[in-house]
Amino acid sequence: MPLWERRRILEILQDAHVLAEGLGDEARVGRAAAFLAHYHWGVARYDESVEQARTALAIADRRGDAALWLSARFYLAQVQHTRGEYRAAADALGQLVAAVQEDLVPERFNMAGVGRVTVSLRRSTTGAIVPVLSAGWR
């Protein structure tokens, strides 16, 4: 977030959300919601942060979007931890940690709050393909 220009950042994120909705582009609506979740956490608007993170998670689940799922789950855990909801935060982070396993097809991307994240697809013991992640700081 450039120099933490709060008003401008919020305007851009809200514009992106509105434009994506207008286009019917659910993937971009989800990404905007995830970044709005992070923004609202940063300015201590925790209820809005949770709402946006849950919106992004719902879209990620519908679309099977591992990258969106990762960021939304991370931002939800972040705000839950900040609000003192340690059990909920631990459960959300536990889902992320449980996903870290052997890589099959790595996809690298950046998200606010994490320097580098690798999301991969792995075949589970049941034969299903599941998203897998690992995170680290640059």
Asked if residue 60 is part of any domain, the answer here is yes
pLDDT for the residue numbered 102: 40
pLDDT for the residue numbered 132: 54
Asked if residue 67 is part of any domain, the answer here is yes
Number of domains in the chain: 1
pLDDT for the residue numbered 63: 93
Asked if residue 70 is part of any domain, the answer here is yes
Asked if residue 6 is part of any domain, the answer here is yes
Domain around 55: 2-98
Is the pLDDT at 49 greater than 70, yes or no? yes
Q: Directed axis angle between helix 6-23 and helix 26-42, to 10°?
A: 160
Residue 99 in 3-state DSSP?
Answer: coil
pLDDT for the residue numbered 7: 87
Residue 134 CB partners (closer than 8 Å, separation 6+): 100, 117, 118
Asked if residue 120 is part of any domain, the answer here is no
What type of residue is 59? I
Residue 13 sits in a domain of what CATH number? 1.25.40.10
Reported as type and span, the H/E element at residue 74 is: helix 66-82
pLDDT for the residue numbered 27: 94
- The 10s digit of each residue's pLDDT in 84-114 is 998 898 888 888 777 655 443 344 444 554 4
- The 10s digit of each residue's pLDDT in 109-138 is 445 544 455 555 556 666 655 555 555 544
Asked if residue 73 is part of any domain, the answer here is yes
Asked if residue 15 is part of any domain, the answer here is yes
Asked if residue 119 is part of any domain, the answer here is no
